[in-house]
Amino acid sequence: MYSQRKLKMNTSKKLQDIKVAVDAVVFGYFDKEDLHILLIKRNIEPFKGGWALPGGLVLDDENLDDAVRRELHEEAGIKPDFLEQLYTFGNVGRDPRNRVVSVTYLGLVNPSYHQLSADSDADDAQWFSVNKLPDLAFDHKEIIDTALKRLRTKIQYQPIGFNLLNEEFPFSDLENLYKTIIGQEIDRRNFRKKIMSYGLLNETQNVKKEGSGRPGKLFTFNQEKYKELEEEGFYFEIK
């Protein structure tokens, strides 16, 4: 279409036959557990009864972002707090039926604010630990691997992790979240110093009630401050 050759192709009846889909890798974090991913049980062939990422074909008059949000809403009743494009998978043969190019997204939600499958049109939607994933349909395993890699890189220089926590959270939740995602121990003191130095946390008057030990103060994430800093070219970095 952008050059004569393509025009010829199009007008000579041999129309392109490729479908465009979106799929989302949505991460959820359950306090002190592994990172989880949202999967949908397929109720049609191929891979009927198997697990797959939420997603589906894009409508003709719908932007890509809107398509993912719609699918997530329909299939799992979820509206992610954070959602960004991940990568586009389009190799021949990744879907056994048609050629399908899938634009994938990385999303984050706090599962405690989202009841799964409220009014879903899918058989079943469920959270799976990234360490105990079932066999997956299509090339969805590869998509998840890509998403995990991206998440691990990204969380080290952008404070996206806050979307996975409750609105008010004790500092230790943030600590555990980072430990979980990065997959290694972090120095509590240095981590706290660093995070605090950015001034992105507001201290509340509340304290954590549950659990044993000394109750921790609860914090909220200062979204406005973050946007301010971001515009000034600020660069968050965690190791």
Residues forming contacts to DNA in the complex (CB under 7 A) are: 170-172, 187-190, 192-194, 208, 211-217, 237, 239
Which residue type, as a one-letter code, is found at position 12? S
Near its own copies by CB under 8 A: residue from 12, 13, 92, 237: 92
If the CB atoms of residues 138 and 162 are measured against its own copies, the closer one turns out to be 138
Say how far apart CA 111 and CA 129 lie, in whole Å: 13
26 binds its own copies (CB under 8 A): no
- Within 10 angstroms of residue 160's Cβ, the number of other Cβ atoms is 18
62 binds its own copies (CB under 8 A): yes
Strand partners, 186: none
We find the least distance from the C-beta atom of residue 161 to its own copies, in angstroms, to be: 20
For residue 150, the surrounding DSSP H or E stretch is helix 140-154
130 counts as binding its own copies under rule CB under 8 A: no
Confirm or reject binding of residue 107 to its own copies (CB under 8 A): no
CA 178 to chain CA centroid, nearest Å: 15
| Nearer of residues 118 and 196 to DNA, judged by Cβ | 196
Structure token digits, residue 62 = 């719908």
Query: Can you tell me which residue has the tokens 């939420």?
Result: 54
CB distance 75 to 42 below 8 Å:
no
The one-letter code for the residue type at 63 is N
18 binds its own copies (CB under 8 A): yes
Identified binder of its own copies from the candidate list 32, 96, 115, 121, rule CB under 8 A:
121
Start-to-end C-alpha separation, the chain:
47
Of 141 and 192, CB closest to DNA: 192
**Residues making contact with its own copies (CB under 8 A):** 1-7, 9-10, 16-21, 23, 40, 42-44, 52, 54-64, 71, 74-75, 85, 87-88, 90-92, 95, 97-101, 103, 121-122
